Amino acid sequence: MKALVMTGYKEFEVQDLPTPAVAAHDVLIRVQACGICGSDVHGMDGSTGRRRPPVVMGHEASGIVEHVGPDAVGYHSGDRVTFDSTIYNPSSFFSRRGMINLCDDRRVLGVSCEDYRQNGAFAELVSVPDHIVYRLPESMTYDQAALVEPVSIAVHARTLTPIEPGDTALVIGTGLIGLMMIQVLKQTAVERIIAVDIDDGKLAVAREMGATDAFNSKTTDATAEIKNVTSGRGADIAFEAVGIEPTVRLAIASVRKGATVTLIGNLAKELALPLQQVVTRQIRLQGTCASAGEYPECLDLISSGKVTVDRFISATGSLDEGASWFQRLYQQEPGLMKVVLKPNG
Ligand SMILES: [Zn+2]
């Protein structure tokens, strides 16, 4: 089968690889669409240590079942499916407690790190265990299904955050995840959604997606603006979707006492924390990682039109065009959001 292999840092080659092995509980999927994730782009220069070459990346995918292992349950060849980005062991300590995303045996598709190498879906075929596979609603396209994973990040962040009717939510960073976050919050009892970014173009999209207020933190004092529209108190909850010190500080400074700040972004491995503010204002810092069983809800949100994904697909291309798309994303070409590769044309 053809696969887009990252042969060295920032180097790609389409190679002919053996068809993936199909274990007893596995489902072999002919990949129809696979999105290039920000984490793939950040990882391609080696800076994250989670894309060690050679590796076939790709964990945001959908396709058609080609073949199933003898013990795989619920799927037949020809089924239209998507799958979780993470392979977990259902009987592990954390999985049994519903935290499949924290499973110690967790392997993310398309990741190669110190502990494991798990080839992903920038390939004609990928093999995954049946318990991470989900059938697509009839109306959903393969391209849409390739964006279920980024939606699931937002849905999981929402799940972990206490939300009260009438709350004001703050979303910092209106890249793809922030824009998904705004749409997901729109479906909750939150009354006001404040978006913050340093790019006016992105803030305009944030408004289209349902943000009631949008502040540019480069050109205004965002914290003062936020306090202004929240009776001087600050937001009730905040979602930080960047992951660098200035934006984490901004989130902490812009919420009310007793608020929860949910941390999604993690560009910086470490940062200095305004500990005294967090402690004396009783702020709850809530980390969130991937998702834990929210895929069916995400498929519903997309197929019902409550969450829009189509407009974030900037381009589609073949595996052969993959290298150039990776370079363009790496160079942060303006206006490029999600690029979806189609390994089977
Ligand atoms: Zn991703």
Q: Are residues 29 and 81 in the same domain?
A: yes
- Separation of 59 CA from ligand 1 center, angstroms? 6
- Separation of 39 CA from ligand 1 center, angstroms? 6
Q: Are residues 143 and 257 in the same domain?
A: no
Q: Is residue 156 part of a domain?
A: no
Print the domain residue range for 298: 2-150+292-341
- Separation of 85 CA from ligand 1 center, angstroms? 8
Q: Are residues 304 and 325 in the same domain?
A: yes
Q: Is residue 37 part of a domain?
A: yes
Q: Are residues 69 and 43 in the same domain?
A: yes
Helix (H) or strand (E) holding 321: none
- Residue 15 in 3-state DSSP? strand
Q: Are residues 219 and 174 in the same domain?
A: yes
**For residue 201, how many C-alpha atoms fall within 13 Å in the half-sphere facing its CB?**
5
CATH number for 265: 3.40.50.720
CATH number for 99: 3.90.180.10
- 80 forms beta bridges with 64
pTM of the model: 0.94
pLDDT means per 10 residues, the chain with 345 residues, are 98 98 98 96 94 97 98 96 96 97 96 96 98 97 96 98 98 97 98 98 97 98 98 98 98 98 94 98 97 97 97 97 98 94 95
Q: Are residues 243 and 119 in the same domain?
A: no
Q: Are residues 146 and 103 in the same domain?
A: yes
Q: What is the pLDDT of residue 335?
A: 86
Q: Are residues 196 and 265 in the same domain?
A: yes
Q: Are residues 124 and 244 in the same domain?
A: no
Per-chain residues with Cβ under 5 A from ion ligand 1: 37
Total number of domains in the chain: 2
- Separation of 62 CA from ligand 1 center, angstroms? 13
- Separation of 232 CA from ligand 1 center, angstroms? 36
Q: Are residues 210 and 138 in the same domain?
A: no
What stretches of the chain show up as alpha helix (H) in DSSP?
A: 38-43, 93-96, 142-145, 148-159, 176-186, 200-208, 222-228, 245-253, 275-280, 295-303, 322-330
Q: Which long-range contacts (CB under 8 A, 24 or more apart) does 216-222 make?
A: 217/172, 217/247, 217/250, 222/196, 222/250, 222/254
- C-alpha 276/C-alpha 104 separation (Å) is 33
- Separation of 337 CA from ligand 1 center, angstroms? 12
Tell me how long the chain is: 345
- Separation of 332 CA from ligand 1 center, angstroms? 17
- Separation of 280 CA from ligand 1 center, angstroms? 35
Q: What is the DSSP string of 133-152?
A: EEEPPTT--HHHHTTHHHHH
Q: Are residues 233 and 263 in the same domain?
A: yes
Final residue belonging to a domain, choices 242, 260, 287: 287
